[in-house]
Amino acid sequence: MSTRNETLFARAQRRIPAGVNSPVRAFRAVGGAPAFLERAAGAYLWDADGNRYIDYVGSWGPMVAGHTHPAVVEAVQAAAARALSFGAPTEAEIEIAETICRLVPSIEMVRLVSSGTEATMSALRLARGFAGRDLIVKFEGCYHGHADALLVKAGSGALTFGNPSSAGVPAQTAAQTLVLDYNDTLQVQATFTARGDEIAAVIVEPVAGNMNLVLPKPGFLEALRENCSRHGAVLIFDEVMTGFRVAQGGAQARYGIQPDLTTLGKVIGGGLPVGAFGGRRDIMERIAPLGPVYQAGTLSGNPVAVAAGLATLTLVQGKDFQSRIEATAQSLVAGLMAEAGKANVVFSAQSIGSMFGLYFRASPPASFAEVMQCDRERFNRFFHAMLERGVYLAPSAYEAGFVSAAHGGAEIDATLGAAREAFRAL
Ligand code: KE4
């Protein structure tokens, strides 16, 4: 007898490619059928068959205050009762702009959009328009959404042009993107020495969360800042994932590096569709209708989405909010490493703020190449062993995990109990 999840998955696949509206949700990396979720509250999810899970995906980052936080739900309900959308300016958009600029001081002006992809796509166009150059630099393993210029993998050598990492991306588009190795400061230096005057922008996840969690090595972000300043390239920190998660002011606050532009998403929408790009006033004033770089959006600054974002940004400023979620992630990581050790499983883990990484490798990877050395098959078995025991991890060995303010000792203890059995079942 099929479960409701199986019935829904079969039905979904008839009308939606792979039955999902975003590829990672299809569980293809880990195998098996995805759980169709129906309800969430705090640190918990419930699927179509009534199974309850402790959630470490958090909708891929936005749910930093926990699911259906009363303050966020009430703000959304109140905003929705007034209007669902205007397509005209509102006071709430001023409030969220002022809040973002206050919390992330490198952002002097900000424009809202409806996704992280829109934010990075717009930031790149702005950087190219400001610098009057075409070449952009990204890093292998970093994901910045699905704009053509960013769906590019490393070319044959670091100084050669990139190749499309997706069908449908024209070769000439990919040719304008150089893909370097994350944390390879010498390669950054060599690239700028050779082509610095052609580079419009460098875009980087200041803490990488899309090749699993990889931290910047000392000197890496500093090298990006120094080379961009020296050669007149725009430094873009993609903080869609790290914003308000690795610190209240994002990774740039934690590492003390000031980018020229920052992209945001996820947390600033509190689960509703909001992205943003912002930064130096002299750059942002090139955006239409002030300047020649066009960018627009029907639902940009949507009042219901902004209400959710404002309520969430209020919560993240709460007393001890950041220190509590950081401590929760640290206790999870320490406990998992202890359980793996007791089971003699080669495993490592680390956290930064409320983000964490789990690796079936003796030590946390510091590069894309080292991430590729992790035992992906073991992760997949661990993923399913945990899912069966009511713990919902990201369905890919190449994703970071997230805790929220709703995760407490009971959730961590239950997770470690599940892990104790899961490590032994590997
Ligand atoms: P969206 O277009 O998905 O809102 O944001 C794209 C994006 C940009 N920059 C960073 C650093 C991101 O992590 C993302 C999106 N993150 C993925 C999770 N790895 C979203 C999950 C998905 O693709 O379904």
C-alpha 1 to ligand 1 mean position (Å): 36
If one counts the domains in the chain, the total is: 2
- Measured between alpha carbons, how far is 58 from 244 in angstroms, rounded to an integer? 14
Q: Which tokens belong to 282? A: 């002299």
Nearest CA to ligand 1 atom 13: 241
Nearest CA to ligand 1 atom 17: 60
Cβ atoms of 95 and 103 closer than 8 Å? no
Q: Is position 143 annotated as part of the catalytic site? A: yes
C-alpha 333 to ligand 1 mean position (Å): 23
Q: Which phi and psi (to 5°) does residue 301 adopt?
A: 75, 20
Nearest CA to ligand 1 atom 21: 60
Q: Which tokens belong to 52? A: 């309850």
- Measured between alpha carbons, how far is 299 from 321 in angstroms, rounded to an integer? 30
Cβ atoms of 124 and 144 closer than 8 Å? no
Q: Which atom of ligand 1 is nearest to the CA of 23?
A: 24
C-alpha 25 to ligand 1 mean position (Å): 12
* Domain boundary residue, one of 292, 316, 340: 316
Give Rg (Cα) of the chain: 21
- Are residues 173 and 202 both part of a single domain? yes
* Domain boundary residue, one of 283, 316, 349: 316
- Are residues 226 and 186 both part of a single domain? yes
Nearest CA to ligand 1 atom 8: 144
Model pLDDT, residue 151: 93
Structural domain span for residue 223: 70-316
- Are residues 233 and 369 both part of a single domain? no
CA of 107: how far to CAs of 195, 200, 382, 396, in Å?
A: 28, 19, 41, 33
- Are residues 333 and 377 both part of a single domain? yes
CA of 6: how far to CAs of 27, 33, 53, 394, in Å?
A: 13, 7, 17, 20
User: Per-residue confidence of the chain (426 residues) as pLDDT tens digits?
Assistant: 679 999 999 999 999 999 999 999 999 999 999 999 999 999 999 999 999 999 999 999 999 999 999 999 999 999 999 999 999 999 999 999 999 999 999 999 999 999 999 999 999 999 999 999 999 999 999 999 999 999 998 655 545 567 778 899 999 999 999 999 999 999 999 999 999 999 999 999 999 999 999 999 999 999 999 999 999 999 999 999 999 999 999 999 999 999 999 999 999 999 999 999 999 999 999 999 999 999 999 999 999 999 999 999 999 999 999 999 999 999 999 999 999 999 999 999 999 999 999 999 999 999 999 999 999 999 999 999 999 999 999 999 999 999 999 999 999 999 999 999 999 999
CATH number for position 293: 3.40.640.10
Model pLDDT, residue 154: 67
Model pLDDT, residue 153: 85
- Are residues 324 and 419 both part of a single domain? yes
Q: Is position 319 annotated as part of the catalytic site? A: no
> Which among 47, 55, 184, 238 is annotated as catalytic?
238
Model pLDDT, residue 81: 98
